[in-house]
Amino acid sequence: MSRAKRQRALSIRTRRAFRDPRAGRNTRERSVTKNIFVIGLNDYNLEKLKRLRGADDIAFHGLIDPAALYDTEVFDVPAMLAEAEEKLSAFDGSIDAIVGYMDFPVSTMLPILGEKFGVRHTSLEALLKCEHKYWSRVLQHEVIPENVPAFAAFDPFDEGALSKIGEAGLTFPFFVKPIKSSGSRLGFRIDSPEDFDYATRRLREDIGTISEPFNFLLDQANLPADIRAIDGQYCLAEQVIGGRQCTLEGYVKDGKVVPYAIVDSVRYPQVLSFFYYMYPSKLPDKVQAKMRELAVKVMEHVGFDQSGFNIEFFWDEVQDQIWLLEVNTRIAQAHCDLFEKVDGVSHQQIMVDVALGNEPDMPWGEGKYKVAGHFFYRVFFIDATITQVPSEEETADALRKVPDTIIRPQVHVGMRLSDLPEQDSYSYALCYVLIGASKQSTLLWNYEQVMKSLTFEFSDLAD
The pLDDT, as a whole number, for residue 183 is: 63
The pLDDT, as a whole number, for residue 12 is: 33
Q: What is the pTM of this model?
A: 0.90
Kindly write down the DSSP assignment for every residue of 312-345, as one continuous string.
Answer: EEEEETTTTEEEEEEEESS--GGGHHHHHHHHSS
Average pLDDT over residues 152-171: 97
Q: Give the residue ranges of DSSP H helices in 71-123.
A: 77-90, 106-117
Is 357:120 a contact under the CB 8 Å cutoff?
yes
CA 16/CA 25 separation, integer angstroms: 9
Classify residue 192 by burial, with Cβ atoms within 10 Å: 0-12, 13-18, 19+: exposed
The pLDDT, as a whole number, for residue 3 is: 38
Task: Compute CA 77 distance to the chain's CA centroid, rounded to the nearest angstrom.
Answer: 17
- Fold held by 371-459: D-amino Acid Aminotransferase; Chain A, domain 1 (3.30.470)
Banded pLDDT at 72 (limits 50, 70, 90): confident
- Domain ranges in the chain? 3-121, 150-239, 371-459
Tally of CB atoms within 10 A around 14: 12
Q: Is the pLDDT of residue 87 over 80?
A: yes
Q: What is the mean pLDDT of the chain?
A: 92
Kindly write down the DSSP assignment for every residue of 157-215, as one continuous string.
Answer: T-TTHHHHHHHTT--SSEEEEESS-STTTT-EEE-SHHHHHHHHHHHHHHTHHHHHHHH
Backbone angles phi, psi at 453, to 5 degrees: -90, -15
Banded pLDDT at 328 (limits 50, 70, 90): very high
The pLDDT, as a whole number, for residue 29 is: 41
CATH number belonging to domain 150-239: 3.30.1490
The predicted-structure confidence for 21-48, as pLDDT tens digits, reads as follows: 333 343 334 446 999 999 999 999 999 9
Q: How far apart are the first and last CA of the chain?
A: 82
The pLDDT, as a whole number, for residue 15 is: 31
The count of C-alpha atoms lying within 13 angstroms of the C-alpha of 110, restricted to the half-sphere facing its C-beta, is 32
CA 291/CA 456 separation, integer angstroms: 39
Average pLDDT over residues 387-411: 97
Question: What does R_g of the chain's alpha carbons equal in angstroms?
Answer: 23
Q: Is the pLDDT of residue 314 over 50?
A: yes
Q: Is the pLDDT of residue 385 over 90?
A: yes
Q: Is the pLDDT of residue 325 over 60?
A: yes
Instruction: Among 19-28, 118-127, 226-235, 316-325, name the one with the lowest average pLDDT.
Output: 19-28
- Residue 430, helix vs strand vs coil: strand
